[in-house]
Chains A and B, each alone.
Chain A
Amino acid sequence: MLSVITHTPEETEAFAAQAAKQLSPGDLIACRGGMGAGKTAFARGLAKGLGLKDRVSSPTFSLVHEYTQGPLPLYHFDMYRIDGFEELYSTGFFDYLEQDGVLLVEWSENIADALPENAIILEILSIDETTREIHLEGGPF
């Protein structure tokens, strides 16, 4: 397990960028943590660390954002509105699993039964307004 305490979104981003160096094609990061916990900052760092030039934003309304301008693509999902297997199927989630990219899944609690066994669990806990405790577990961590 890899853990860290960060004090600003920039520190969270830097931590994610470091962690990205250890990821391989096909890895899936299942994210837990509420609104405003810093998931988008983490995603931004991850994309930067993977060498991607795309602009990162929260996929709440579009369900998935693809970042492909770099060596290893990142597929960024938000499962907040997903309520059942049919809906998950129609996001194309299972098709992305077959591709050689990294998947970051926000609100992974909603698709707990559909996550692969080797998923990397990312937990972001809000300690106070700006302090975050971040844990990465599974896969290379």
Chain B
Amino acid sequence: MKLLAIDTSSRTASCAVVENGILLGEFYANIKLTHSCVILPMVQDLLARLKLSVNEIDCFGVTTGPGSFTGLRIGLSAIKGLAHALGKPCVGVSTLEALAWNLGFPCLVAPVLDARCSQVYTALFSWEQDGTLKRLSPDEALSLTDLEIRLKSLKSSIYLVGDGTELCYNMLQNRIPCLLPSPAQQFLRAASAAFACEQAALQGKTVDAGSLVPAYLRLPQAERELLAKNKH
């Protein structure tokens, strides 16, 4: 099965094609350009380099959130459009789960995406000795303070990954044993998203284009009230 996955959910835009556990190709950009201008030409170029026609793709994957409001809509629209036009199945995975796929050796992982105003989107995963990824907590938005409380309670060293890594690492490094992946694995990559999607597809979690929806996350209550309080 050939699977094309794209990710535009945060700072980076990327696309990748995987087939039966092998990465065939990946394009990635971390520049301040509108994802909507970048992603489809990127897909077109990648397929051309791989000498693949879009008709040869069996399944379309995308990160469905949490993440940037505009970014999620761009990624989902692109994948829904491709899958709908070609009558192929799609599969969506959590942005945070896709980030956890940047690692892959036995460890604890806390993916962190900057949700602004001292908040992060986060979850907790464990890569097991047998090579499987186990989810330990659901995707949620936490204040940095609550993230610290959570990570402290683990009493174990933990890998941070995602565009909120620097923010969290600087805040936590003296109090919690945080580890960082290699710089090449710090941000979300479509290759990781593609492998997460491939696994989900093999578990039968594919849907038709119309059923794919973004997973926006509610932000902490206190923060929402704080904004409103300033209204004159």
Contacts and interface: CB of A to CB of B under 8 A. Distances in A.
Interface of A: 83-86, 88-92, 94-95, 98-100, 109-114
18 contacts: A84-B227, A86-B218, A86-B224, A89-B216, A91-B69, A92-B70, A94-B68, A94-B69, A95-B68, A95-B69, A95-B71, A98-B11, A98-B68, A110-B227, A111-B230, A112-B227, A114-B117, A114-B227
B232 interface: yes
Given A85-B226, A112-B230, 12 more contacts: A83-B231, A85-B219, A85-B227, A89-B216, A92-B69, A92-B70, A95-B70, A98-B11, A109-B230, A109-B231, A112-B227, A113-B226
Query: Interface SS of chain B: helix, strand, loop or mixed?
Result: loop
Contacts of B228: 83-84
Given A98-B11, A99-B32, A109-B232, A88 B227 contact: yes
B139 to A, nearest CB: 15
A113 B116 CA distance: 10
Nearest to B228: A84
B117 A99 contact: no
B208 to A, nearest CB: 26
Contacts of A109: 230-232
Nearest to A88: B227
B223 interface: yes
Query: Interface SS of chain A: helix, strand, loop or mixed?
Result: helix
Given A85-B227, A111-B227, A113-B226, A90 B117 contact: no
A39 to B, nearest CB: 16
Nearest to B68: A95
Contacts, number: 56
Contacts of A98: 11, 32, 68
B145 interface: no
Nearest to B223: A85
Contacts of A99: 32, 34
Contact of B227 (A91, A92, A94, A113): A113
Interface string B194-232: 000000000000000000000010110001111110111
B210 to A, nearest CB: 22
Interface string B97-124: 0000000000000000000110000000
A107 to B, nearest CB: 9
Interface in B11-41: 11, 32, 34
A75 to B, nearest CB: 12
Contacts of B11: 98
Contacts of B224: 84-86
A112 B223 CA distance: 12
Nearest to B33: A99
A94 B230 CA distance: 19
Contact of B69 (A90, A111, A112): A90
The 7 closest A-B pairs by CB, nearest first: A95-B70, A112-B230, A85-B224, A92-B70, A84-B224, A84-B228, A85-B227
Nearest to B119: A85
A100 B31 CA distance: 10
A89 B226 contact: no
A116 B193 CA distance: 31
